[in-house]
Amino acid sequence: MNKKFSNLLPEKHREIISEADIRKRIGELGAMISKEYKDKCPIIIGVLNGAFIFMADLIREIEIDCEVDFIKISSYGNKKVSSGNIKLNKDIDCDVQGRHVIVVEDIVDSGRSIQYLENMFSGHSPASVKFVSLLVKKGGAIVNFHIDYIGFEISNEFVVGYGLDFAQKMRNLPSIYVIE
């Protein structure tokens, strides 16, 4: 573990995805998106706050014209379990009508956030909407959802780092950790 950050983590933690593995997988996702969206100039919409680091790294692996925007929703409050109520904190500024939209999430657990976003975007007549998530928790799904590009499937445990928080902290860790 990077000594610089060891004081930020609780005593019981383990690294599950290293910086190098994240970088490699994002390269692969970027290549797939570049190929599929060639000449389509997609609008890539990051879901704040969790996806900000993933979004920044992902778009630098996308070698085609694209635009970016952000939306901010929250469901967790300061707990480790989702409240189930999604709140829109900041809407997008762009017009998605007739455009190809790619929504970038940090992690999908129950699927409620994705479902909320899908309903919201499809109501604005985009040409297409696809979802990319760095992480998907196995066995966490409560509602039906479909993710088009998945970075890693992980077990149903609480993770932090690389943008993901616990009570707003630990987003600045460069790798992904399970904490207890």
Instruction: Please tell me the distance from the alpha carbon of residue 49 to that of residue 55, in angstroms, as a whole number.
Output: 10
Question: Interface with Mg ion by CB under 5 A: which range of 48-56, 86-94, 110-118, 128-136?
Answer: 48-56
Instruction: Please tell me the distance from the alpha carbon of residue 91 to that of residue 121, in angstroms, as a whole number.
Output: 11
50 binds ligand IMP (CB under 6 A): yes
Site for ligand IMP, residues 53 to 82, rule: CB under 6 A: 75-76, 82
Residue 111 contact among Mg ion, ligand IMP, none, beta carbon within 5 to 8 Å by kind: ligand IMP
Beta strands in 58-119, from DSSP E residues, in sequence order: 67-74, 87-90, 100-108
Residue 38 beta carbon to ligand IMP: minimum distance, rounded to whole angstroms: 29
23's CB contacts (< 8 A; 6+ apart) are: 57
Is there a contact between 147 and 132 (Cβ–Cβ < 8 Å)?
Answer: yes
105 binds ligand IMP (CB under 6 A): yes
Residue 108 beta carbon to ligand IMP: minimum distance, rounded to whole angstroms: 5
